[in-house]
Structure 1
Amino acid sequence: MVLPLLLVIPLLSFSNQIYGVFQGEIYTNLKLIIQVLIIVFTMAIAIQSYLVFSHLLSNQTLYIGNVFFILALLELVSLFFSHNHSIRWAFMEDTLHILIRFYLSLGFLFIILYPKKQLTMKHRILSYSGSLLFVIASILLVYISPKLLPVQWIDHIDNIVHLFSIVLQLITINIISRFLKKMPKRSMWLISAAISLIVSDTFFIISQDTHAIWDFSALIYQFLAFYFFLKAIYYTSVEKPFQQLLKIKKDLEQSQRELQFQAYHDDITLLPNEHLLLKTLKEKLHENGHQKAVIAIEIDRFAAIRSSIGISHSNKMMKLVAERIQTILPPHYFATKLQEGQFVIYINHVKTIEELLQFCLNLKSAMKKPLQVQLFSLNGNLNMGIALQEEKWTGEELLMHSQLAMRESRQIPQRFLFYKPYMSKGIAERILLEQDLHNALANNEFYLDYQPQVNLKSGAIESVEALVRWQHPNRGFVSPEIFIPIAEECGLIIPLGKWILETACQQAKQWEEQGLPPIKVAVNLSLGQLFQQDLVEMVGEILQRSKLDAHYLQLEITESMTMNIDQMTQLLHELKALGIQIAVDDFGTGYSSLSYLKDFPIDCLKIDRTFVRNVQHNPNDEALVSMIISMAKHLRLKVVAEGIEEVEQLSFLMEGGCDYIQGYLFSRPISPQQISETFHDLHHHVDEVLTQLQYKEHYSM
């Protein structure tokens, strides 16, 4: 845009010298060349717009083509008459020049101001046909112009048209400048064309002779203007679409890379996924003859945690675990993440068995620190299974064997195991049992038995423990020791736990309505329920629906659940605020510090049956039980002893000051109907046992 204006300076300063160089035939030939180039450029613009319209179908593209088609034809006719030396046709060149300048300025402004819209292909034929007729009409108008206007007026009209053109170009520049930010490149080309036309019109006004340097310079600037027009149209119809095509191609390639990454990587941890793992195993498992291995890793009870804290929080937990795995991962270990929340590590070259064991120990050490997810401080205990490749195994079999070993590792303190053939036995049975478990709750296959708890001071049955049972339609009775761990693993413990709690509360209220003395019901909470975000609200709603006094509900937690003291303290205080009682079940078998006893709002400790079983034969068990009872008394906590089957066990506990007894010595777990029907018989049996014990004590004295 600046360069054409700079060319004006030498033209103004050295016009005579420049004209002196271009005289005679040289000047005539140069002028002819410029006129021919103008015709070529205008026709090029018309043809290009004609061709591009079939793709864009834009009215602006069509109208640009038509305007320059008209200009090209008129310039061609003008060139013919400018080199026809007949005086008869001399006026035609000047009149055509006036029309060309008038059409160009009006057409340029019209195209910019006319709103954009889509047209059809038939408009192209009609418009170019109309333009051809318009050119013919214009030539006829020029032919008859001497009859309408005196010849001496042509010069005045020519100057007026040029001035009018300058005004229109200034208006055009003002309009185009508004689109500079939106379409900078196209706008600059069009503004450059308008400026060149202004300079051209100015030189035409200055020129008094068609053979003067100003007239020649005006033609050069007109040529520049058409060049800029062509550049603008080329940019809009060719260069910009091509750039957009390149951008689309680049975006498509980027999308393909992203899709490929997503296809072979987990979207949460960004680790390679199961597809890439199986692909790697297929390609590398039997190459180079080195020993291969797979380590399957899972977060202990992850399904229960996930159903309790929600998907977003469990995903963050999974991401934190992945980060810790990656921090200790050796360079030649390939870590992946499976869909079911498991991690799998493939080792392409196992040098020694010890290195696999050391990695598992390092991973256990890395997971000792709790995982902080929002307000939750979660324990990231991992179960690990290791499978060493055998020649006949496929990649899928190697992976499956590592997962079997991982499942078996849940049962041992070390939490990691090597695969052994016996682990494959019974896996199909476990899978079928898990499928049946999903339908058991809906089919009312669960029921509750209740084991009475006897107050040793009053001899009364004041409370019972609710124990869930499963009567499978085909398998018969399924032990809780079998189905409870499966329910925790697959996340069913949450709905099952809610059903147990609601059923037990309703039953306690029903006994009260039947005329029995108020009976407190004890219900075990699972680890998954403790992470349940709405646990407190759920307990409150169940108490409200069942209309049971909160004092007659006791929730039992295991000692291993108390490791996260900060979170548990807040939760238990919220539960305690409802009016319920809190007990620690299986006391003495957990792994945590006893410091929680002073922080938790606990009402009762339950001594595990493993301590009571041999209390009369094992001095260590006797000492531990005595210590637990003594500690509870000092902390003003009640003590319940489980698993009492012999009178000698009862005698020892009574002497030690135990508050409640629960065991087969008084009653097995029985149905709620049996509680209702035999309540007095149960008390009579309790009296007999206690009387017999007192008689033995007196006799020994």
Structure 2
Amino acid sequence: MYGGLVLEKRSYHQKIEKIEVWYIALPLLLLIPFIVYGNQLYGVYKEESYIYLNLIMQILIVVFTMAIAIHSWLVFSHLFASRTLYIGSLFFVIALLEMSNIVIFSANALQTSYINVWLHLVMRLCLAIGVLFIILKPKKQLTMHYRVYTYGFSFLFVMFTLLMLSSPPMSIQPFIEDGDWVIIALDKVHLIAAILQGVTIYILSKHYKKTPKRVMWLMSAALYLIISDIFFVIGKDPNEIWNFLALIYQFYAYYLILKAIYYTSVEKPYQQLLKIKQDLEHSQQELRFQAYHDDITQLPNERLLLKTLKEDLHADKAQKAVIAIEIDRLATISASIGISYSNKMMKLVSERIQAILPPHYFATKLREGQFVVYIDDVQTQEELLQFCFNLKNAMKKPLQVELFSLNGNLNIGIALHETSYSGEELLMHAQLAMREASQIPQRFLFYKPFMSSGMADRIIMEQELHKALAHQEFYLEYQPQVNLKTGNIESLEALVRWHHPTRGFVPPDMFIPIAEESGLIIPLGKWILETACCQAKAWEAQGLPQMKVAVNLSLGQLFQQDLVQMVKGILQQTKLEPHYLQLEITESMTMNIDQMTQLLHELKALGIQIAVDDFGTGYSSLSYLKDFPIDCLKIDRAFVRNIQHNPNDEALVSMIISMAKHLRLKVVAEGIEEVAQLAFLMDGGCDYIQGYLFSKPIAAEQLTETFQELHSHAEEILGQFKYVEEYMI
């Protein structure tokens, strides 16, 4: 529709330009019949008829010249332009002289006198010289009092001319009253005027590109004045057709000059004003769009959403609902891949949401990277659930952002409107449900009132987490991993702990998810890695056997662009040999195989070891086992806990150990608390065990002090099975 309107405007302007060309060309075409059939046309009227026709044309000329003078007088008070003032004063002279010419002609009983001829001569010279002077004189700004001075001078010039012609001094009286000489001079004046008009056309043509429309009118006027001069020369008798044609073309030239002045002082400023108005309206529309839409996705923003909710929420009795949507671990991903890639990811997500959005659903994008869908007429709750299922299906395919292949797992919260809720409250309820949905496998929930109380504590804890790292409230504990073949403690897993100044000990499963959501997991993960490597070197300096330290990597750290350089830098800083560091990833992190393969190979090139933690609990394909440079699999405690009571767990553990042996991978079993569990694992060929049966996680100082006791305790337990062999990893 907008494109059609633009084309319509363009065609309109083209039509106007064609009309203007016809305005110029049509009088030129009329020259042909006048030249060819001049004598026949002259005979149409009697000779005395041309006297009155000439008088009418002179009166019209007075009207147009005076119109130019008055228009310039009025416009000067706004433009203060020198050319506008000079043109007005020039045509004021011509208007006064032309009026004087008519008065004298009428007073002589419609007979031409020598004064009429001299007035005509003066007018032609003033016009030709004056226009050329105005064009050549540089433009400048004048003050208001110049208007009175200039027009006053013009009036005095006319009065002086009339005085000199009506009562010439004795010295020049014969010269002025010599009729034959005046006729000869008049032809010369017309020739000079025509030449000067030609010079005017040449000068104007150089400025055509700057102001084509105005120059076109002025050049056309100069052309018609030349034609008028030619007809004046041809027509010896003032009362014949050639003199009449000269007046017609002179009149038309003044009309074109008036049109040029009108265009410059009225039409063009009006068009500029109209364009400014249109630009202003367009700018206002753009500003309004920017104020109510998101810059990245172009979706309506939070401001427009709240405005819509305020106006529409209580408008009728239809059931309303708000669905809040966020990308899981968005803060961590953004902190890892950078803001530009994060923005591209948000744009891809918005496109997928819009692709499945029903017509009456209103999708918006909030500042914190959340999407919100408002439905103003919900028929059934099943309708909302179906939309959530469709949305999850749409996000199954990874988001390809440059070199990153990202999983767009969504957390979705649904809040149904009740009479007492405001728009802000309804939105907050949907966001609370969305936060809670991140803790369950389905990843979408309807809002329940109990969610409000738990979220407040979660927000407070998020703020406290930011202070905890700076205040050194975190510390590490280490849980030994025992080699079942040698009975030695050869490695330890570093586990982060938080001692809050007022809350006391905060469980990791409570603060780690919040740290991942807030992006704090990046600096926290770096601190854990530095502290664990430093401690490994410290134990070596204290005379303990060199032991490998295992550190968990978060999903956010895997997207960290400088992860490899960071690990390399920490190893160089702490001077820890790379093979004494083991980085652990979870199975759920292995879904982006292409990206992970390259990253893990770069880490492996440093000389470190890589383990897959919580093996068997994820949903990824096992094909990554042949592609990733993995050294170790860690069996999750969920399989080990009931191994002696659940045949399925027993079968799964046996299968994992067997598969690892065929792939030449070491196996670590976590959560060993009972001797029966240990016996099964030893019979199955497990390599390492970790659990409370040997030791709970303990502080670094305590491990240093009790290392021999821990070692003896491990040998004592394993000695019961008489299964200790020399074996090296």
How far has the Cα of 1:559 moved from its partner? Answer: 0.5
Structure 2 contact 487–714 (Cα < 8 Å) conserved = no
RMSD: 2.8
- Take 1:598 and 1:334, find their aligned partners in 2: how far apart are those partners? 46
How far has the Cα of 1:567 moved from its partner? Answer: 1.6
Distance 1:80 1:417, change over 3 A: same
Residue in structure 2 matching 1:28, options 43, 51, 67 = 51
3-state SS in 2 of match to 1:464: strand
3-state SS in 2 of match to 1:7: helix
CA displacement, residues 326-375 of structure 1 (integer Å, 9 cap, x when unaligned)? 23223333322222222222222322222222222222222212222222
CA displacement, residues 198-219 of structure 1 (integer Å, 9 cap, x when unaligned)? 1011112222222232222111
Match runs of 1:158-307 below 5 Å: 158-307=186-335
Match runs of 1:318-333 below 5 Å: 318-333=346-361
Residue in 2 aligned with 1:685?
710
- Take 1:392 and 1:419, find their aligned partners in 2: how far apart are those partners? 15
- Take 1:126 and 1:456, find their aligned partners in 2: how far apart are those partners? 115
Match runs of 1:116-127 below 5 Å: 116-127=139-150
Q: Which moved more, 1:395-404 or 1:509-518?
A: 509-518
Residue in structure 1 matching 2:601, options 573, 583, 590 = 573
How far has the Cα of 1:608 moved from its partner? Answer: 1.4
Residue 475 in 1 paired to residue 500 in 2? no
Structure 2 contact 694–713 (Cα < 8 Å) conserved = no
How far has the Cα of 1:485 moved from its partner? Answer: 0.9
3-state SS in 2 of match to 1:454: strand
Instruction: Give the aligned residue type for 1:4.
Output: P
How far has the Cα of 1:32 moved from its partner? Answer: 1.7
- Take 1:128 and 1:578, find their aligned partners in 2: how far apart are those partners? 93
Residue in 1 aligned with 2:33?
10
Structure 2 contact 432–447 (Cα < 8 Å) conserved = yes
Structure 2 contact 413–430 (Cα < 8 Å) conserved = yes
Distance 1:634 1:134, change over 3 A: farther
Residue 522 in 1 paired to residue 550 in 2? yes
Instruction: Give the aligned residue type for 2:419.
Output: E
Structure 2 contact 72–85 (Cα < 8 Å) conserved = yes
- Take 2:580 and 2:89, find their aligned partners in 1: how far apart are those partners? 94
- TM-score, length basis structure 1: 0.92
Structure 2 contact 413–432 (Cα < 8 Å) conserved = yes
Percent sequence identity over aligned pairs: 69
How far has the Cα of 1:88 moved from its partner? Answer: 13
Match runs of 1:216-615 below 5 Å: 216-512=244-540, 516-615=544-643
Residue in 1 aligned with 2:117?
94
Distance 1:260 1:84, change over 3 A: same
Residue in 2 aligned with 1:54?
77
- Take 1:302 and 1:406, find their aligned partners in 2: how far apart are those partners? 13
3-state SS in 1 of match to 2:584: strand
- Take 2:423 and 2:612, find their aligned partners in 1: how far apart are those partners? 46
How far has the Cα of 1:563 moved from its partner? Answer: 0.8
3-state SS in 1 of match to 2:494: strand
- Take 1:696 and 1:541, find their aligned partners in 2: how far apart are those partners? 43
3-state SS in 2 of match to 1:294: strand
- Take 1:112 and 1:544, find their aligned partners in 2: how far apart are those partners? 81
Residue in 1 aligned with 2:89?
66
Instruction: Give the aligned residue type for 2:121.
Output: I
- Tell me, which stretches of 5 or more residues in structure 1 are unaligned? none
3-state SS in 1 of match to 2:43: helix
Instruction: Give the aligned residue type for 2:85.
Output: L
Residue in structure 2 matching 1:645, options 669, 673, 684 = 673
- Take 1:141 and 1:466, find their aligned partners in 2: how far apart are those partners? 116
Instruction: Give the aligned residue type for 2:713.
Output: E
Residue in 2 aligned with 1:624?
652
Q: Which moved more, 1:236-245 or 1:152-161?
A: 152-161
How far has the Cα of 1:264 moved from its partner? Answer: 2.9
How far has the Cα of 1:400 moved from its partner? Answer: 1.9
3-state SS in 2 of match to 1:426: helix
Distance 1:465 1:58, change over 3 A: farther
How far has the Cα of 1:137 moved from its partner? Answer: 5.1
CA displacement, residues 564-615 of structure 1 (integer Å, 9 cap, x when unaligned)? 1112112222222333322211111111010001011112212212222233
3-state SS in 1 of match to 2:720: helix
CA displacement, residues 96-121 of structure 1 (integer Å, 9 cap, x when unaligned)? 32332222223323333334444443
CA displacement, residues 176-234 of structure 1 (integer Å, 9 cap, x when unaligned)? 33444443322221221111111011112222222232222111111111100111111
- TM-score, length basis structure 2: 0.88
- Take 1:266 and 1:652, find their aligned partners in 2: how far apart are those partners? 59
Structure 2 contact 322–430 (Cα < 8 Å) conserved = yes
3-state SS in 1 of match to 2:318: coil
How far has the Cα of 1:517 moved from its partner? Answer: 4.5
- Take 1:518 and 1:98, find their aligned partners in 2: how far apart are those partners? 118
- Take 1:26 and 1:569, find their aligned partners in 2: how far apart are those partners? 105
Instruction: Give the aligned residue type for 1:218.
Output: A
Instruction: Give the aligned residue type for 1:99.
Output: V
How far has the Cα of 1:51 moved from its partner? Answer: 1.8
Structure 1 contact 605–632 (Cα < 8 Å) conserved = yes
- Take 1:135 and 1:461, find their aligned partners in 2: how far apart are those partners? 121
Residue in 2 aligned with 1:146?
172
Residue 695 in 1 paired to residue 723 in 2? no
Count of equivalent residues: 696
- 4+ runs of 1 displaced by more than 6 Å? 86-89
